[in-house]
Chains A and B, each alone.
Chain A
Amino acid sequence: MMNEFILLRHRQIPDLDQLEVYRQHGGFEAFQNAVTAMNPNDVTQEVKASGLRGRGGAGFPTGLKWTFIDNENWPHYVVANADESEPGTFKDREIMEGNPFQFLEGVALTAYAIQATEAYIYLRGEFWQIAASLDQQIEELEAAGLLGEKIFDTDFSLRIFTHLGAGAYLCGEETALLESMEGKLGQPRLRPPFPPSYGLYGKPTVVNNVETLTNVPYIITRGADWYTSIGTEKSTGPKIFSLSGRVNKPGNYELPLGTTFRELIFEHGGGIPDGREIKAIMAAGASSSLIIANEEALDTPMDYESVPNVGADLGSASVIVIDDTVSIDWVLYKTLHFFSHESCGKCTPCREGIYWMRHIIDRIHQDEASWSDVELLNEVAYQIKGKCLCALGEFAIEAVTSGIERFESDFRAKAAEISSEG
């Protein structure tokens, strides 16, 4: 285990959500150093060298994304994605509540790196109180001369604003988020062009997740070499794992990337309640493939390169634990109801496909289906695959196809119930 928190520092430092306390612990030194002594490009290059990858789920190299910003088109924008809505994910909320100034410093550093003078924080509507706190904290930063006009007597100016969503999972997808910010329906855009060339109001925009941005001040202060000493070669740095489901101690755990599922679930999470056995793991919230929780899977390091070896992705590292009391058809019933509700309706395969998958899984779940319904469910899932503008359609089928393939006996049992009655 790490001795020192890098992201969840509020667990070690009381009152870290007070600006004075944050500054006593080195807060805004990275920002001051960057603005007064570094070129914007140096900041980007340091982040690129750190190997930091997007913590929202896609795992795209952060510094590389910043280099894609179109310098022929101005102004530039930074948008922090605080729409945290993936079932099983509750890490950004803890950062913003406990360690908000490190997050805001990350936003400010990113803005300096791409020379944006305005940054927005898009929060899900339910984070209404967090938005109100951030508004106040931003005011404090302006009063302290850390935001606003001509910061540290340089030519760099920056303002940060909050923007509340209103209950739409899809707004966590970066182009849907930008549409929503523009006052439109939260539906994805056709890509390319990607946000670094055509983002908010058609201007070059970097969209980064809250956890990603919260890493940045440390990378600037301690350097890329220090950062790459944490984690694995291709998955550097610390990660907050949101652990939920059938575990004794659910919660957020900040651990180096590359920590095994076993260590997270059994050492930190205290194992499975009521002496039950672990059956399946979803590593990326409801958008995950179902991993068979055998010894090989439990010993798999949770990093971007290793999780695919057990047929899944790390995603946002929202680890949902499923024990042997649960039938996998019920898991699909839950995830399909979620995705059916959250499909934005733009792409037909997702809108109609998930609607029908939900109806089929309802029948299976209610013991009214035969094996051919299970096959039909699988078939509809494969018809959605690769046919939508954004990843929601793909996410919705991950649990379906992997669940039927890897936990076939659960579905056989369901189908057998109907055939034995019929």
Chain B
Amino acid sequence: MIAEKYAAEIEIILAKYPPDQKRSAVMALLYLAQRDGGYVTKGDMVEISEILGITPTEVASIVGFYTLYHDQPEGVIRIQVCNDLPCALRGADEFLEKLCENLGIQVGETTPDGLVTIEAVMCLAACDKAPMFQVQSADGLSYYEDQTVSSALEVVETLRKQDAS
């Protein structure tokens, strides 16, 4: 129940918007819901709809439209590699391919231990520091820039250890 667990944060979020425009808070509340477990459950969507006075379907449509929300459990650590044009001109495609090879999975798949998912994503505004990726996890989003396959594998190992501890 996010309403109880994050009561103070929800209050701060709602205070950003006019009292009759609570719906504006839907994106921020979805991030809260996603903090545990890495994805938004049906129950979360119903709860958010009740807080904001909109329908659960409207909340679900937001989850479906925006790529940073997930409605399915995937790896706890999402490695999101940008392979758009500017990054690809700096070797992002080869980087992504070799990283997948080393982890033994394809783009979009999760490692057998359920921890790491590799995704190809759209521009992350770090074109001059490619190859690069962001990691989406319970701690939020962090950027890793000017990467090689070996430095990326080190990052994955570090994150795995953090998750285990």
Binding site for B on A (CB under 8 A): 84-90, 92-93, 120, 124-129, 161, 163-169, 180-186, 201, 242-246, 250-252, 282, 285-286, 318, 320-322, 326, 331, 334-335, 338, 341-342, 344
Binding site for A on B (CB under 8 A): 16, 18, 21, 23-28, 30-31, 52, 54, 61-62, 65-69, 84-86, 88-90, 121-130, 134, 140-143
Which residues of A have CB within 8 Å of B27?
Answer: 163-166, 180, 183
| B124 with A126: CB separation less than 8 A | yes
CB distance from B64 to the nearest CB of A (A): 9
- Interface majority SS on A: helix, strand, loop or mixed? mixed
| A87 with B86: CB separation less than 8 A | yes
CB distance from B93 to the nearest CB of A (A): 9
Which residues of A have CB within 8 Å of B125?
Answer: 84-85, 89-90, 92-93, 124, 126-127
| A326 with B122: CB separation less than 8 A | no
A311 to B73, alpha carbons, bound, how many Å?
47
| B84 with A286: CB separation less than 8 A | yes
Between A and B, 17 residue pairs with Cβ closer than 8 Å are: A85-B123, A88-B123, A88-B127, A90-B127, A126-B124, A129-B142, A163-B24, A167-B121, A169-B123, A185-B62, A185-B65, A201-B21, A242-B127, A282-B85, A321-B89, A334-B84, A344-B65
Which residues of B have CB within 8 Å of A181?
Answer: 24
Which residues of A have CB within 8 Å of B84?
Answer: 87, 286, 334, 338
Which residues of A have CB within 8 Å of B30?
Answer: 166
| A87 with B66: CB separation less than 8 A | no
| B122 with A87: CB separation less than 8 A | yes
A282 to B86, alpha carbons, bound, how many Å?
10
A251 to B90, alpha carbons, bound, how many Å?
13
Whose C-beta in chain A lies nearest to the C-beta of B123?
A87
Among B28, B89, B140: residue with most chain A CB under 10 A: B89
Whose C-beta in chain B lies nearest to the C-beta of A250?
B128
A88-B86, A120-B16 given; 4 more Cβ-contact pairs under 8 Å: A87-B85, A183-B25, A186-B66, A250-B127
CB distance from B52 to the nearest CB of A (A): 7
Among B54, B88, B129: residue with most chain A CB under 10 A: B88
Which residues of B have CB within 8 Å of A164?
Answer: 27-28, 31
| A126 with B141: CB separation less than 8 A | yes
Which residues of A have CB within 8 Å of B31?
Answer: 125, 164, 166
Whose C-beta in chain B lies nearest to the C-beta of A183?
B23
Whose C-beta in chain A lies nearest to the C-beta of B15?
A161
Given A87-B86, A201-B21; A166-B67 close (CB under 8 Å):
yes
Which residues of A have CB within 8 Å of B68?
Answer: 125-126, 166-167
Whose C-beta in chain B lies nearest to the C-beta of A86?
B123
CB distance from A190 to the nearest CB of B (A): 19
A87 to B82, alpha carbons, bound, how many Å?
10
| B18 with A201: CB separation less than 8 A | yes
Among candidates A88, A128, A186, A338, residue contacting B141 with C-beta atoms closer than 8 Å: A128
Which residues of B have CB within 8 Å of A184?
Answer: 23, 62
Which residues of B have CB within 8 Å of A129?
Answer: 140-142
| A245 with B90: CB separation less than 8 A | yes
Which residues of B have CB within 8 Å of A334?
Answer: 84-85, 88
A331 to B84, alpha carbons, bound, how many Å?
10
| A183 with B26: CB separation less than 8 A | yes
CB distance from B77 to the nearest CB of A (A): 16
CB distance from B134 to the nearest CB of A (A): 6
Given A125-B66, A165-B27; A90-B126 close (CB under 8 Å):
yes
Which residues of A have CB within 8 Å of B86?
Answer: 87-88, 244-245, 285, 320
Which residues of B have CB within 8 Å of A126?
Answer: 68, 124-125, 134, 141, 143
Given A164-B28, A166-B68; A85-B122 close (CB under 8 Å):
yes
